[in-house]
Amino acid sequence: MMYKEILIRYGELSTKGKNKKDFIARLRDNIRYSFTDLAPLKIRTERDRMFIETETEERMEQLMTRIPKIFGIQSFSAVASAEKNMDAIKEVAHKIMEQYKEPITFKVEVKRTDKSFPLETHDIQRDVGGYLLTHFDHLTVDVKKPELPLRIEIRDDAAYLMAGVIKGAGGMPVGSNGKSLLMLSGGIDSPVAAYLMMKRGVRLEAIHFFSPPYTSENSLQKVKDLTNLCTQFGARIRLHVIPFTEIQTLIKDSVPANVSMTTTRRMMMKIADQVREEVGALGIVTGESLGQVASQTLESLTAINDVTTTPVLRPLLSYDKLEIIDIAEQIGTYETSILPYEDCCTIFTPSNPKTKPKLEKVEYYESFTEFDELIAKAVRNRETYSYPQKQPKADKFADLL
């Protein structure tokens, strides 16, 4: 096998002075988390970069396909190793360069950490460069702005070679900007909101309202799957499933149909706020987009938001539905989101909800019913799941096929 490790260059965090150490540790942990399903990774961190060692080709492939999704990484490269002699180094350089078939400009960069290596830096440069030029017609040297810098590092244990830089996801390592609680419905929007917040370094926990038997196990499974999908961006996510049937039924029985949806949202927000406090999160994240549905008009948002002073972060507020769908497709949550299972919102939705509910009216209707006890009970009885799951789901069908 040719490639031995992956070199990771940090994203925005390089500029962050004294917090840098924390950020690097955070990124390292995030990478570990997102590869929980693989055996423990060997990660070596340096001031400006990080190395992940791999042993097998399959694992290398896994890493290369999944690293582009992890926030806080500016770019990365596959690194090959060679024995510390010029013949071996040239042979590996040859293997790397033969992957490029089109004419390309290159340059050999050498870093010689092992000062006992017999050749000086520029000798190595000239030797390898000359060797490659005689073997490949389509290579030309450009020392100022090469399209393909071939980097050779002579370290104590071996020589390392890398070429080609792959763009990372950018952003900041998840967790470097605190923690928030995501309201996850199972639709298209909330996973996208999760993605955008995580990109800015926010660690998430998720909350979902489950109303059996009005909503099925399938719809819950879908939410679990979505939560698991969101962990691909480099963080562990806990999902809190709130038993919501009792409250929803009570709302239906005690509040006029056309404001029941606003009340439902207010109750959800109240529950979310209590869970947020318990788990030590700072804000609440929703996938709301202004005017998308009746509950997302500015009037509705005002009425819903009134139950808490906690910052409610709405990263999708100004996004069009189509823009949201585009992102959902890119991040791979769309297919799961559109699975046709009822969630608690779709079933209890009245046929003519108020698009401009008045806060005072909603408060008035709610004032006849005692919700707080049920809310506390729902919070208490929530079920919590942790993702990514350590054991990938065993494939029970494999033997049959």
Q: Which is nearer to another protein, 77 or 219 (CB)?
A: 219
Contact by Cβ (8 Å): 191, 333: yes
Q: Does 399 bind another protein (CB under 8 A)?
A: yes
Of 74-82, 270-278, 354-362, 393-401: span binding another protein (CB under 8 A): 393-401
Stretch that binds another protein, among 1-9, 21-29, 163-171, 216-224 (CB under 8 A): 216-224
Residue 83 is given by DSSP the state -
Bridge partners of 109, per DSSP, are 151
Is 183 one of the annotated binding-site residues?
yes
Residue 265 annotated as part of some ligand binding site: yes
**Residue 347, interface with another protein (CB under 8 A)?**
no
In the bound state with another protein, the residue whose beta carbon lies nearer, of 253 and 399, is 399
Q: Which stretch binds another protein (CB under 8 A): 39-47, 215-223, 253-261, 320-328?
A: 215-223
Measured distance CA(208)–CA(393) in Å, rounded: 22
Looking at the Cβ atoms of 36 and 216, the one nearer to another protein is 216
What b/e sequence results for 246-263 when a residue is b if at least 16 CB atoms lie within 10 Å of its CB, and e otherwise?
A: ebbebbeeebeeebbbbb
Closer to another protein by CB, 13 or 220: give it. Answer: 220
| Beta carbon nearer to another protein, 322 or 400 | 400
**Cis before 213 (ω within 30):** yes
**Which one of residues 62, 121, 216, 297 is an interface residue with another protein (CB under 8 A)?**
216
- Which of 217, 246, 306, 370 is the binder for another protein (CB under 8 A)? 217
Kindly state the smallest distance separating residue 341's Cβ from another protein, in Å.
9
Q: In what order do the strands lie in the sheet with 179-183?
A: 312-313, 283-285, 179-183, 203-210, 237-243, 383-387
* Closer of 215 and 262 to another protein (Cβ): 215
Can you tell me whether residue 153 is helix, strand or coil? Answer: strand
Question: Is 101 in contact with 91 (CB distance < 8 Å)?
Answer: no
> From the CB of 389, what's the least distance to another protein, in Å?
18
Q: Is 296 annotated as a binding residue?
A: yes
> Within 176-256, where are the H helices?
189-199, 217-230, 245-254
Q: Is 394 in the site for another protein (CB under 8 A)?
A: no
287 annotated to bind ligand: yes
Asked whether the beta carbons of 191 and 328 are under 8 A apart, the reply is yes
Tokens 């961006």 belong to: 233
Q: Within 10 A of 297 (CB to CB), how many other CB atoms are there?
A: 17
Strands (E), 344-388: 383-387
- 19, 218, 302, 330: which one contacts another protein (CB under 8 A)? 218
Token pair recorded at residue 397: 């069908």
Least CB distance from residue 215 to another protein, whole Å? 12
Which residue of 39, 322, 394, 401 would you call a contact of another protein, by CB under 8 A?
401
Least separation in angstroms between residue 395's CB and another protein is 9
Q: Which stretch binds another protein (CB under 8 A): 23-31, 88-96, 123-131, 214-222?
A: 214-222
Place of tokens 């896994």: 62
400 binds another protein (CB under 8 A): yes
Query: Shortest distance, CB of residue 105 to another protein, whole angstroms?
Result: 37
Distance between CA 224 and CA 66 in Å, rounded?
20
- Distance of closest approach, residue 394 Cβ to another protein, in angstroms: 14
Residue 272's φ and ψ, nearest 5 degrees, are -60, -40
E strands within 211-309?
237-243, 283-285
Angle between helices 245-254 and 257-279 (to 10 degrees): 150
In the chain the first and final C-alpha atoms are separated, in Å, by: 31
CB of 212 to another protein, least distance (A): 13
Binding residues for ATP: 183-184, 208-209, 265, 287, 296
Positions touching another protein (CB under 8 A) are 216-218, 397, 399-401
Binding residues: 183-184, 208-209, 265, 287, 296
